[in-house]
Amino acid sequence: MTSTTSTQQPMKNKSRTEASESAEGCCEVFYVDEDRVGRVRDAMLSDDLVEQVADTFKVLAHPTRVRILRALAKEELCVCDLAQVLGLSISATSHQLRAMRTIKLVRYRMDGKLAYYSLRDPFVMALLEDGVRHLTGEEGR
């Protein structure tokens, strides 16, 4: 364990209330528990995997994509049907699906001239349902 303390410099031009509010939620001294730090560092994800997870959340951060996932959770849909459900053009729907396909959230199959989309992995719906429960305190709608 490493312990270091530092002396605090007086804060100029700040009232006592402002100083205590700015430090709220922060350590008042510098102290590092090397055992804890080591355990957590050992459990950290690789930089590449962190980037992939962040990219997934970036794609999920778009409201239209959340709606697409909800629709595809109900059943496989062709691009035309999905566009109709969402009230978007086929081009706009295809653009969103392309981004989701890139990070492997959805897959498609051709049936003649129609492209049918479905969820690639149910994990994404579990994640979205958890988000809905977190925000509403209810089961997903």
CA 75 – CA 113 distance, rounded (Å): 19
Residue identified by tokens 């209810």 is: 138
Residue that wins the pLDDT comparison between 62 and 18: 62
- 3-state SS, 43-97, equals HCCCHHHHHHHHHHHHHHCCHHHHHHHHHHHHCCEEHHHHHHHHCCCHHHHHHHH
- What is the rounded distance in angstroms from the CA atom of residue 138 to the CA atom of residue 136? 5
Q: How far is it, in rounded angstroms, from Cα 29 to Cα 125? A: 43
CB-based contacts of 130, cutoff 8 Å, min separation 6: none
pLDDT tens digit sequence for 35-45: 999 999 999 99
Enumerate the domain spans of the chain. 2-43, 50-136
Of 81, 74, 84, the closest CA to residue 119 belongs to: 74
Q: Is the pLDDT confidence value at 23 over 80?
A: no
Average pLDDT over residues 10-33: 66
Report the C-alpha gap between 122 and 120 in whole angstroms: 7
3-state DSSP call for residue 113? coil
Is it the case that residue 3 has pLDDT exceeding 80? no
> What's the pLDDT tens digit per position in 57-72?
888 899 999 999 999 9
| Architecture of domain 50-136 in this structure | Orthogonal Bundle (1.10)
pLDDT digits (tens, 9 = 90+) for 71-117: 999 999 999 999 999 999 999 999 999 999 998 999 999 999 999 99
**Quick check: 10 and 35 in contact, CB under 8 A?**
no
